[in-house]
Amino acid sequence: MDSIISLTGLSKSFGRRKALNNIDLVIGKGEFVAIFGPNGAGKTTLLKIMSTIIEPTKGNVLINGIDSKKDPSKIRGMIGAISHETYLYDELTARENLEFFAHMYDIDKDHIDDRIDDILKNVNLFQRADERAGSFSRGMKQRLSIARALLHQPSILLMDEPYTGLDQHAAANFERVLMGTGNSDVTRIMITHNIERAFELCDRMLIMDRGELRFDKLKTDIESVEEFKEQYLSIVEKDTDAEGISNF
Ligand SMILES: Nc1ncnc2c1ncn2[C@@H]1O[C@H](COP(=O)(O)OP(=O)(O)OP(=O)(O)O)[C@@H](O)[C@H]1O
C-alpha cells in the first residue's frame, strides 16, 4: 500500500509542556485509522500538525510526498477537517457558507451549484439551505461543517470527535456519508472516544498517551472490541493522571 502520510521523529512542545514526544507514524492511502487516548494525550495536536494548522517543534511531516514546511497550502487543499469547532459564518446561510468555501478551494465554477446541492442533500440540510447558519442547532451546524469539509472532495479526511452534537439519526447519516467516501480511496483519520463505533468502521486502531503512540494495530489483528478495551485500559490506567478515563 502506498503511504500518504509519513511522520518522522515528531515532537511538539507548548512552552515547557511536551504535547508530542518523538512520534513515528506512516499511514497508507485509503486507510481508515482511529486514534484513542485520554484527554491531553496529544491527539488533537497530532491532527493539527497533519493539517498544517500548527508546526512541530521537531520532526518531519510528509503528506502525499509534500513536506509540510515547504508547501503547506498545497497540503491544505488535499485535506478536509471536521472538528468540534465548526468554522462557519453565523450570518451567512448554509448555502452561502458552502459557496464561500467553494471559492476558497477553487472548485470549478460550472460545478459549484450542483456540488453544493448534492452535499446539502447528503447531510440532510437541503431544505434549510437558505437559512442562516446562526439559527441552526448545534447538530445542524455540525452537519453543515461536515458538508464544508467534504465539499472539495479531499483525499484526506481528518476528524476530531466528529460525533459531537449529532443525534443518533445524524450520526448514522454521517457514517453513511463517511463510508461513501471510501470508494474513492480517501484516507480517513478519526479521533473519537466512541470505541464501539470506531471498531466497527475503522481498519487500524491507535492509542496515544502522554504524547506517545502506545498502541498501533490493524483491526484484523485484534480479536474483539472487548480485547481492545482491555488493552486501552491497561495502557491508560497506568497513567494515574489520565483525565479521559471517564469518557471511556
Ligand atoms: N495551544 C496550546 N497551548 C498550550 N498547551 C497546549 C496547546 N494545545 C495543546 N496544549 C497541551 O498539549 C497537551 C495535548 O493536548 P491535545 O489537545 O493534543 O490533547 P488531546 O489528546 O486532543 O485531548 P482531548 O481528548 O481532551 O481533546 C495538553 O497538555 C494540552 O494542555
The pLDDT tens digits for 135-148 are: 999 889 989 999 99
Split at pLDDT 50, 70, 90, the class of 243 is: very low
Q: Which residue's CA is minimally distant from atom 6 of ligand 1? A: 14
121, 125, 126, 130: CA torsion to nearest 10: -150
Ranges of H-type helices in 202-242: 225-236
Q: Are strands 187-191 and 204-209 parallel, antiparallel or unpaired?
A: unpaired
Whole-number Å distance between alpha carbons of 193 and 205: 12
Beta carbons of 114 and 124 less than 8 angstroms apart = no
162 residue type, one letter: P
For residues 47 and 191, the answer to whether their CB atoms sit within 8 Å is yes
Asked if 196 and 221 touch (Cβ cutoff 8 Å), the reply is no
Please tell me the predicted confidence (pLDDT) of residue 108.
79
Q: Does the structure show a pLDDT above 90 at 247?
A: no
Q: How far apart are CA 105 and CA 120, in angstroms?
A: 17
Question: Helix, strand, coil proportions of the chain in percent (round to 5)?
Answer: 40, 25, 30
- CA 204, CA 240: separation in Å to the nearest integer? 26
Which residues, 6 or more positions from 55, have their beta carbon under 8 angstroms from its beta carbon? Answer: 49, 68, 69
- Which amino acid is it at 18? K
Query: Does ligand 1 come within 6 angstroms of the Cβ of 45?
Result: yes
Structure letter (DSSP) for residue 160: E
- Tell whether ligand 1 has an atom less than 6 A from the beta carbon of residue 207: no
For 73-87, 169-183, 214-228, which range has the lowest pLDDT when averaged over its residues?
169-183
Ligand 1 proximity of 4 Cβ (cutoff 6 Å): no
Closest ligand 1 atom to 47 CA: 18
Cell of 200: 466497527
Q: Are 7 and 60 spatial neighbours (Cβ–Cβ below 8 Å)?
A: yes
Q: How many domains does the chain have?
A: 1
Bridge partners, 216 (sequence order): 206
Ligand 1 neighbour 39 (Cβ under 6 A): yes
Q: What are φ and ψ of residue 17, in 5° steps?
A: -85, 125
CA–centroid distance, 188 to ligand 1, in Å, is 21
pLDDT digits (tens, 9 = 90+) for 80-120: 999 888 889 999 999 999 999 998 887 877 889 999 999 99
- Ligand 1 atom index nearest CA of 211: 14
CATH label of the domain that carries residue 33:
3.40.50.300
User: Which residue puts its alpha carbon closest to atom 5 of ligand 1?
Assistant: 14
Structural domain of 186 = 3-247
Residue 43 Cα to ligand 1 middle (Å): 8
- What is the ipTM, given to two decimal places? 0.97
Quote the CA–CA distance of 234 and 36 in Å, as a whole number.
13
